[in-house]
Copies of this chain bind each other. A is one copy, B any other.
Amino acid sequence: MTEQTAAPRVPTTARDRARAEVMSELLAAARARLESEGSAALSLRAVARDLGMASSAVYRYVPSRDALLTLLIIETYDAVGEVAETVARTSDAGPAQTWLEVARAVRRWALDQPYSFELIYGTPVRGYRAPDDTVRPAVRMWGVIIGLLMDADRDGVLDPAGPDFDPAGRMAPEAFATAGYTDPATVPDDVARIAIRSATLFTSLVGAISVELFGHLHRVAEDRSRFFDVTIATAAAGVGLRITLD
């Protein structure tokens, strides 16, 4: 058991390569059906037909329909996390304005592939219990938000007039791992006070998109893009980020 921990002797046999290829075709076909018809209509049999194989054969690759959905969920968290991180990284505006850009980008992404947004931020699939594999990709969005708040605080543009609530017991210690605090006990109080504000930003983002996508602005909002901006900017104001519109 000395060097056994390394990869066991170039295991890419023909069968392995074939398996990997079928697996990726399977995921691609599933993604295509997901994005055209939604997760509720995602049928394992239909995916099998798309691939020209028997439905029973699919079970050689995926243990159940729910497991297939889980793979898509992880992919999707990573996709939207990537969108948010890219905008946050490349924007040259201040933290407040950058947050608006991030929110707009996520909204755009959600409108382009609504069923993917639903998959992760809508009603959870019945009987589905998120395995730990989904936690890491899911937390990327929180990382972006907390990062922006830290930046704003450092730059002195985090409006101190915003409400300041005691963070004690309101945020789980693990949440600060994103900000680099591996030991929960060492999180400074001011960092906690800032981090808890991320909840309102996250909620306003997911909430605003959900509300629009799920039809609750029917006969309420006219120009939905501008409506979204106002919603995000107003919530951000409560957090202490001053966003300028128009």
Q: With a CB–CB cut-off of 8 A, which chain B residues contact A242?
A: 163
Cβ of A18 within 8 Å of any chain B Cβ, yes or no, is: no
Give the oligomeric copy count. 2
A142 to B124, CA, bound (A): 26
B235 touches A204 (CB 8 A): yes
Q: With a CB–CB cut-off of 8 A, which chain B residues contact A79?
A: none
With both chains docked as a complex, state the minimum distance between the C-beta of A198 and any C-beta of chain B, in angstroms: 9
Cβ of A160 within 8 Å of any chain B Cβ, yes or no, is: no
Cβ of A118 within 8 Å of any chain B Cβ, yes or no, is: yes
| Complex partner residue of A138 from B135, B216, B221, B237, CB under 8 angstroms | B216
Cβ of A181 within 8 Å of any chain B Cβ, yes or no, is: no
Chain A 177-197 interface 0/1 with B at a Cβ cutoff of 8 Å (1 = within): 000000000000000000011
A interface with B by C-beta (< 8 Å) = 37-38, 40-41, 118, 121-126, 130, 135, 138-139, 142, 161-163, 165-166, 169-175, 196-197, 199-200, 202-208, 210-211, 214-216, 218-223, 226-227, 230-231, 233-239, 242-243, 245-246
